[in-house]
Amino acid sequence: MALAILILMSVLFAVTHIGMSHDPFRARLVEKFGPKGFQVVYSLVSLVTFGVAVFVFADNRKAGPVLWTLPGWLYPIVYLLMLFAFLLLVLSMRDRSPAMMIGGKMVPEGVLRITRHPMNMALACFALAHMIANGSLGDVAFFGSIFVVGFFGSYHQDQRKVREKGEDYVAFQRQTGVLPFAAVVQGKIGLAAKDLRVPFVIFAVLAFVAALVVHEDLFGIRPY
């Protein structure tokens, strides 16, 4: 029963989080509840679905059949993904994306040169790392829902921002990318050391190390 609830709530979280913000459904909800009312309803649905998923997952880690087991020699990939997630998350606080709810300037600087959705990509990297490391069905469903919201939600967010902000956001899109480093590899934009904001990078690395140290005490799972 717990596994079924975990999967159901995880799926509902991902589907409602993206679906409720998708036009024309979003437009109808805004018309019915008003802009602020929509935000309240949207937040409540996300809070309930994800909150229940977290509550069930907390007592049912590694539930269900094991879909895969990660060989020990592949764990460095998990660590790198998590370190990158910390870096993107911390750097997103310095250079806010205009795609965020409280957006920043439409200027591709800092971490926005790596991805125009640093916070979403941080969530996606976090979720992907935990999906790789935890191959049981319940874990994959739980972390998979977070990955869907972070990764695919970025593309969905772009569509909405184009409608809201018009050509300014389109121009910003042309200079940046969703996938980390995609715009740099494609030659759309350069990346210099100053864009990495050294104090924020140091803080992110320290936070990552601290998370490794306390992981077993907080979650009962040794990450190394």
Distances (CA, A) of 198 to 5, 32, 110: 43, 47, 11
- Which residue do the tokens 């809070």 mark? 47
- Residues 115, 123 contacting (CB under 8 angstroms): no
- For residue 27, count CB atoms less than 10 angstroms from its CB and return exposed for 0-12, middle for 13-18, buried for 19 or more: exposed
Give the span between the Cα atoms of 91 and 70, in whole angstroms.
30
pLDDT in tens, 99-136: 887 777 888 888 999 999 999 999 999 999 999 999 99
The mean pLDDT values, 10 residues at a time, for the chain of 224 residues are 93 91 80 84 92 93 91 90 96 88 81 94 96 94 96 88 87 93 92 85 94 79 69
Give the span between the Cα atoms of 183 and 119, in whole angstroms.
17
pLDDT at 224: 65
Give the closest residue to 122 by CA, choosing from 170, 81, 175.
81
Q: What is the pTM of this model?
A: 0.90
Give the span between the Cα atoms of 161 and 168, in whole angstroms.
10
| Angle separating helix axes 2-19 and 25-58, nearest 10 degrees | 150
pLDDT at 156: 85
For every residue of 145-195, DSSP letters joined together read HHHHHHHHHHHHHHHHHHHHHTHHHHHHHHH--SSTTHHHHTTSS---GGG
